Amino acid sequence: KPVLGIETSCDETGVALLRWEPAAPGRGLLSHALYSQIKLHADYGGVVPELASRDHVRKLLPLVREALAEAGLTPADLGGVAYTAGPGLVGALLVGASAARAMAWALGVPAIGVHHMEGHLLAPLLEEDPPEPPFVALLVSGGHSMLVEVQGIGRYRILGDTLDDAAGEAFDKTAKLMGLPYPGGPALAALAQQGRPGAFRFSRPMTDRPGLDFSFSGLKTQVLLAWQQSDQAEQTRADIARAFEEAIVDTLAIKCRRALQAAGAKRLVIAGGVGANKRLRAELAEAGEKEGFRVYFPRLAFCTDNGAMIALAGAIRLAAGQHQDESVQVFPRWDLETLPAV
């Protein structure tokens, strides 16, 4: 029976319906619907938690209705409900968790709280020819930059993490200090395509020593100085954007190679919002071809937050008999390594 997936950890309300098909999970995806709050938060230059919660309350049930209609299903057809239980904004998480729990209780079906980053990590399984563990996952999103060794579902070892800004956060903050409108990451990436190669060059932080951790806050300062000392022309802004993007992408690619070596793996999964970055996708795909590893990405719409990845992670765990009891719990901070194996 189909599982309803609900994502409300930050500023997107995502809903999806998925029937669990172990051999080809993507074929079990019946429908998905997304509402982004970007416009709501744009005036503030960042996500306002209280506004985010209220908007999830407003949009969630209409989206569930929409996803059910698109799949030609009614609530009585559901076999379980999966919701993001963390990490994320506590008020936003509680909206999805309470709604999911209430629906599951009314329908007499199990509910399960999903780790948002496990959702991102498993999103590539929704594509044709999905990756089989063991693999290494690069999780690069608004709040995380991690390299994870994946031995199986729920068997995760964090090989590297960020010491300061996450990759997406670095994109967003750098865009902001060059005057690009919120949310800056995708805007900066678009601008970078007009940048000329070699006009600027920034460092590849922490690649000159061993280790798999990241640090991106120093890059931001380099960009700020370069921008302040420049003529601030439109072409210059694009040139700096390009050099910044190259620095981030190169740094991520170098650490991915090291992580594959450390884990003795031949498969690399890229997921999270920054996984939508074209230069990152191209550079890693090319490196894989040359160096003999295979790279797996989710489709662009499933790189950033969505309900499908939560439905998938939840369906896998529900199929294994895991579920949560009726005391609704959310975890604003939650260590991926503590998840139970399937």
Q: Where does this chain bind ligand ATP (CB under 6 A)?
A: 9-10, 88, 116, 120, 141-144, 168-169, 171-172, 183, 185-186, 189, 272-274, 276-277, 304-305
Residue numbers belonging to the annotated binding site for Fe cation: 116, 120, 305
Kindly state whether residue 7 participates in binding Mg ion, applying the rule CB under 5 A.
no
With contact defined as beta carbons under 8 Å apart, do 71 and 32 qualify?
A: no
**CB of residue 7 to Fe ion, shortest distance in Å:** 8
Question: Which range, of 57-65, 116-124, 172-180, 297-305, touches Mg ion by CB under 5 A?
Answer: 297-305
Whichever of 165 and 305 has its CB closer to Fe ion, that residue is 305
Q: What is the DSSP letter of 24?
A: -
Rg (CA), the chain: 20
- Give the pairing of strands 12-18 and 3-7: antiparallel
**Bridge partner list, 34:** 14
Whichever of 172 and 246 has its CB closer to Mg ion, that residue is 172
Q: Which does 171 bind (CB under 5 to 8 A by kind): Fe ion, Mg ion, ligand ATP, none?
A: ligand ATP
Kindly state whether residue 172 participates in binding Mg ion, applying the rule CB under 5 A.
no
Q: Which does 186 bind (CB under 5 to 8 A by kind): Fe ion, Mg ion, ligand ATP, none?
A: ligand ATP
Q: Which residues of 261-286 are buried (b: 16+ CB within 10 A; e: fewer)?
A: ebbebebbbbbbbbbbbebbbebbee
Residue numbers belonging to the annotated binding site: 116, 120, 139-143, 172, 185, 277, 305
**CB of residue 98 to ligand ATP, shortest distance in Å:** 20
What is the three-class DSSP state of 295?
Answer: strand
Among positions 3, 5, 11, 26, the unique one binding Mg ion when judged by CB under 5 A: 11
Whichever of 109 and 140 has its CB closer to ligand ATP, that residue is 140
With contact defined as beta carbons under 8 Å apart, do 126 and 133 qualify?
A: no
**CB of residue 5 to Mg ion, shortest distance in Å:** 16
**CB of residue 104 to Fe ion, shortest distance in Å:** 23
Q: How many C-beta neighbours within 10 Å does residue 333 have? A: 8
**Bridge partner list, 3:** 18, 80
Site residues for Fe ion per CB under 5 A: 141, 305
Whichever of 73 and 175 has its CB closer to ligand ATP, that residue is 175
Whichever of 55 and 305 has its CB closer to Mg ion, that residue is 305
- Contact track, Mg ion, 300-319, x by CB under 5 A: -----x--------------
With contact defined as beta carbons under 8 Å apart, do 291 and 302 qualify?
A: no
CA-to-CA distance for 166 and 299, rounded, in angstroms? 21
CA-to-CA distance for 322 and 319, rounded, in angstroms? 7
**CB of residue 199 to Fe ion, shortest distance in Å:** 32
Q: Which does 205 bind (CB under 5 to 8 A by kind): Mg ion, Fe ion, ligand ATP, none?
A: none
Residue 168 makes CB contacts below 8 A (sequence gap 6+) with: 140, 141, 142, 143, 185, 272, 273, 274
Whichever of 73 and 241 has its CB closer to ligand ATP, that residue is 241
Whichever of 153 and 310 has its CB closer to Mg ion, that residue is 310
Residue numbers belonging to the annotated binding site for substrate: 139-143, 172, 185, 277
Residues contacting Mg ion: total by CB under 5 A: 3
**CB of residue 163 to ligand ATP, shortest distance in Å:** 16
Q: Where are the alpha helices (DSSP H) in the chain?
A: 38-42, 49-71, 90-107, 116-122, 167-177, 184-192, 217-228, 234-263, 278-291, 307-319
CA-to-CA distance for 223 and 201, rounded, in angstroms? 10
Burial class from Cβ neighbours inside 10 Å (0-12, 13-18, 19+) for residue 211 reads exposed
**CB of residue 306 to Fe ion, shortest distance in Å:** 9
List residues binding Mg ion (CB under 5 A): 10-11, 305
